[in-house]
Structure 1
Amino acid sequence: MEVEEIPGEIREEIREEIQEETPRVRRRGRTALLIATAAVLGLLGGTCAGYLIQADREPTKLPSLSQPVVAQAKGAGPEPLSAAQDRRVKTDDDLRKLLIKRPKGAQDAEYAPGHDGWLTMAEYADQLEDPDQAFARLVGAEFRRAAGVDWRVGNTYSVGIRLVQYRQEENLSASEEAGNWKVDGTRSWPVPGTGDGMAYVTIKPDTKPGYLPVYSAQAHAWRGDIAMEIWIYDTKPIPKAKIMDLAERQMERL
């Protein structure tokens, strides 16, 4: 049915009902909007109030990130070693100071290699059999330095002492070099207080046409990074006591 066909009275009633319902719908829409706006304002107000309250409070102290300090035990700690007790003080100092002194009345050796008690690696190797091979071996053994003292008594008796120090970063070269000697035709004895140190005295002299016979004695030992070697030569047989006395006194200084 079209609107024009509705009787006038009925159309009037419908118009009144529509007018009454429309404001209700609009009021419900405005009410919902007001409620939502109030909720937003309330949330913002609460947040601002929270910030204001927090700003007025004293800052909260955070816990320390470091570990608690452990109190040191009471009582004196171990005292450092004296220079006399600390072997490193001796061996890293002037190596020549560890050599025993030549006896009173002794004279300078006719030939003493090196300079002022020091021997370079080449000078030390030149004293050994097959110097070229000895030099190469010393390079591999991490040669550090060598010191020596030589003297003679009379015209035939002579002594040579060598202290050879190694770096020993990769090998225990001092012990290896001290035990690297092969001495044939000798009598041998352990050097007391050295572990595997040995002393040797030749049984028969070395003879050459036109020269006096030469007897020899030698001692080899080591301590820490230092290898010791002692040589004695004479035209007469060398007593065991001679080489043992020198070896023991020299090792006591190491």
Structure 2
Amino acid sequence: RRPRGRTTLMIAAAAVLGVVAGTCTGYLIQAERPPTELPPLSQPVVPRAKGEAEPLPASQDRQIRLDGDLREFLIDRPKKARDVEDPPGRDGWMGLSAYAGRYNGPSDTFANLLADGFRRSATTSWRFGENGGVYINLTQFRQVDTLGASLWADNGVYWANREKDTRSWPIPGTGEHAGTVYVHDTPDRKPGYLPLYTAEAHAWRGDVYVEIFVHDSGPIPKSKIMDLAKRQVGKL
């Protein structure tokens, strides 16, 4: 640091005296002005509405609807769809352990799901064409201490965005950052196996996290994953 010289101190002292003189002048001018009336602190009282608001019918109250059988909100399988060889879950339900087992580090995932209020997960799957497959999960959270559905949707979006050669589009009707589809253009290749192309979608509605996965031996068009996502989110 360079030492301060005498000139610098003189300039600093003059600046301080100027500020003090200006402040005193301002106080004197203000003191000679007549006082300005202030608005009252109290505000007018708004009268309460009479009667009670009618509750929404069950057909319009999404929370009541989703408290029923969550499997009924899965989109229907195509008529010509075939069962996958090892379907996830049992009878359309996937337990907490099975759901956590789909992730890398299932033990940590199990604990995180518990902390975020995992309630239940409904699932469906089917095969199409020669090598294609579709997997859909609706995972519901209690959302007492945290917004689990949006939190886990953001987690799915984070990992989908990390894949190379990935294209993405928002799902119409889901609002900002509430639903996105992804197409991964580079397949997973292993010796002795057909190339594996994948696409996925992540969205949330209320307390339900929607995730859709599609795989095939050939490129997956945007229209396929987008159609599945729009129909599934729309059914919620």
Cα deviation code 1:14-71 (max 9, x no counterpart): xxxxxxxxxxxxxxxxxxxxxxxxxxxxxxxxxxxxxxxxxxxxxxxxxxxxxxxxxx
Cα deviation code 1:152-205 (max 9, x no counterpart): 013301000000000110001110100112121211111111121111100110
1:235 maps to 2:217: yes
How many Å separate the matches in 2 of 1:248 and 1:129? 28
Percent identity over the alignment is 51
Between Structure 1 and Structure 2, how many residues are aligned? 181
Give the match's secondary structure for 1:85. Answer: coil
- Mean CA deviation greater in 152-161 or 164-173: 152-161
How many Å separate the matches in 2 of 1:237 and 1:133? 33
Q: What is the alpha-carbon root mean square deviation over aligned residues?
A: 1.6
Pairwise mapping of residues 194-233 of structure 1 onto structure 2 (< 5 A)? 194-195=174-175, 196=177, 197-233=179-215
Code of the aligned partner of 1:251 = V
Give the match's secondary structure for 1:159. Answer: strand
Match of 1:16 in 2: none
Call closer, same or farther: CA 1:213–1:168 in 2, change over 3 Å.
same
Give the match's secondary structure for 1:204. Answer: strand
User: Structure 1 length normalisation: TM-score?
Assistant: 0.68
User: What is the Cα deviation at residue 130 of structure 1?
Assistant: 2.5
1:125 maps to 2:100: yes
Give the match's secondary structure for 1:119. Answer: coil
Match of 1:192 in 2: 172
User: What is the Cα deviation at residue 109 of structure 1?
Assistant: 1.2
Cα deviation code 1:194-226 (max 9, x no counterpart): 121111100110011111000000000001110
User: What is the Cα deviation at residue 80 of structure 1?
Assistant: 3.6
User: What is the Cα deviation at residue 78 of structure 1?
Assistant: 5.2
User: Structure 2 length normalisation: TM-score?
Assistant: 0.73
Pairwise mapping of residues 1-254 of structure 1 onto structure 2 (< 5 A)? 79-181=54-156, 182-183=159-160, 184-185=163-164, 186-195=166-175, 196=177, 197-254=179-236
- Mean CA deviation greater in 170-179 or 191-200: 191-200
How many Å separate the matches in 2 of 1:99 and 1:253? 8
Code of the aligned partner of 1:215 = Y
Code of the aligned partner of 1:105 = K
User: What is the Cα deviation at residue 73 of structure 1?
Assistant: 5.8
- Mean CA deviation greater in 218-227 or 190-199: 190-199
Code of the aligned partner of 2:174 = T
Code of the aligned partner of 1:193 = G
The unaligned stretches of length 5 or more in structure 1 are 1-71
How many Å separate the matches in 1 of 2:50 and 2:183? 58
How many Å separate the matches in 1 of 2:119 and 2:72? 16
Code of the aligned partner of 1:167 = R
The unaligned stretches of length 5 or more in structure 2 are 1-48
Give the match's secondary structure for 2:80. Answer: coil
Give the match's secondary structure for 1:180. Answer: helix
How many Å separate the matches in 1 of 2:114 and 2:55? 35
